Chains A and B, each alone.
Chain A
Amino acid sequence: MTAMLTHVFAANALLTAFAVVGLVMWLSNALSKHLTRGRVHGSAIAIIIGLAAAFAAGLWTGGEKGVADIPILAGIGLMGGAMLRDFAIVATAFEVDVVQAKKAGLIGAVALGLGTVIPFVFGALVAAAFGYTDAVSMTTIGAGAVTYIVGPVTGAALGASSAVIALSIATGVLKAVLVMIGTPLVARFIGLNNPRSAMVFGGLMGTVSGVSGGLAATDRRLVPYGALTATFHTGLGCLVAPSILYLAVRGIVGG
């Protein structure tokens, strides 16, 4: 009986992955709603559960691929692999409205640029301070400080090690969670009460889940403005982190 069930899960690995991740998303949204009153986005909770599961699986199996090392969960490796990840990230660009985006104007573009470069430089410096002194690791961890999407996209493109990619994801996720929790607390001090500052905020913070969660907890009416610039942030980061910024880091620290 158990063997038959295991066989069904293993033979339909990708379907098992959809079912498991779906249940995790459902659980996370329920936790977000009832435990945090929506203050921490369901997506952030789900990612934390994912990282926690990978940690537990790593201790249990001794492997390097988190839950994908458990045979019946091997489909998670396919679902979260490079092919579907790139496919889904590109799809999010479809929601970008160019006409609306132009309204953010120069200040939005400045915020976007600074929002990519400042966290990147800081993240790369912290990485170097902790002994990750090669260009690929510094770039990947710096990109993780931009967002938890830019980090792994950059790391995968540059061929960073799984441990460094995990560090960069963890950095991005922690930043997203802190944005969600911290935004309503600092909103008054950073002038977050109008569409323009919301666009600046979205451009600088970047993480779409962090920005939409944080703004929703501050003032729901600000969400679309922040999400607009935040959407560009991921695309910009995915474009410049593994290219211009990587070359800059490599130019400074060497191969």
Chain B
Amino acid sequence: MTISGVALLAICTLIGVFLGDLLGVALGVKANVGGVGIAMILLIAARLWLGARGLMSHGLKLGVEFWGALYIPIVVAMAAQQNVVAAAEGGPVVVIAAVGALLLCFGMVAILSRLGGANETMDEIEARSAAAREAARVAAGDPA
């Protein structure tokens, strides 16, 4: 049933937002603290639990994945109702924050991806698996 997926998603979201509100009160913050993140963790846990018991039906998946697929359009709708006129007045903040964050992250990728020595590239992986297939074919005595 598709509605079971939508219901699962709704239950996880409601619990997550509720726990986020509770956490906010507990921490003395007038806000929802990580409710969406908690809901995501609940959904991941629910998926593992249902999968392990063979309860993951096509309808259930469809009900959740439909809303996942709508996430970009909903973000577009969200972008379209913001106070962009006010944001434009703060123009340089956007450009400096975005470009700076990007350059810092590119730099970190360069450092982290070199940690632990050289890695097999995609080309090498493909060449190796092609060679392995070839060897298996020869070993199997396949004339072609």
Contact = CB atoms under 8 A, between A and B. Distances in A.
Given A47-B75, A91-B68, A171-B97, A54 B33 contact: no
A205 to B, nearest CB: 6
Nearest to B79: A50
Contact of A65 (B37, B76, B81, B119): B81
A30 interface: no
Given A170-B84, A195-B119, 16 more contacts: A25-B73, A46-B73, A47-B75, A51-B80, A51-B82, A55-B85, A86-B36, A90-B39, A157-B33, A158-B29, A161-B83, A186-B106, A193-B122, A194-B122, A197-B109, A197-B113
Interface in B36-80: 36-41, 43-44, 47-48, 61, 64-68, 70-80
- Complex A-B, nearest 10 residue pairs according to Cβ-Cβ distance, in ascending order: A239-B37, A80-B77, A163-B86, A197-B113, A80-B78, A50-B79, A166-B87, A93-B40, A58-B85, A119-B101
A6 B75 CA distance: 25
Contacts of A194: 113, 119-122, 125
A159 B30 contact: yes
Contact of A77 (B61, B81, B121): B81
B29 A246 contact: yes
B26 to A, nearest CB: 11
B68 A92 contact: yes
Interface size class of B (residues with CB under 8 A): 35 or more
B34 A54 contact: no
Q: Which of A65, A204, A246 has the most CB of B within 10 A?
A: A204
A252 interface: no
A73 B16 CA distance: 30
A173 B34 CA distance: 22
Interface residues of A, number: 111
Interface in A210-255: 219, 221-222, 235-236, 238-240, 242-243, 246-247
B110 A190 contact: yes
Looking at chain A's contact residues, the main secondary structure is helix
A55 B36 contact: no
Contacts of A111: 108-109, 112
Contacts, number: 321
A96 B44 contact: yes
Contact of B79 (A47, A88, A162): A47
A127 B93 contact: yes
A58 B80 contact: no
Interface string B104-120: 11101110111110011
A68 B92 CA distance: 26
B32 interface: yes
B95 interface: yes
A75 B102 CA distance: 34
Contacts of B30: 159
Contact of B97 (A66, A79, A122): A122
A158 B29 CA distance: 8
Nearest to B72: A43
Given A24-B76, A25-B76, A190-B110, A88 B83 contact: no
Given A79-B74, A91-B65, A126 B86 contact: no
Q: Which of B64, B93, B96 has the most CB of A within 10 A?
A: B93
A55 B81 CA distance: 9
A31 interface: no
Interface string A135-163: 00000010011101100110001110111
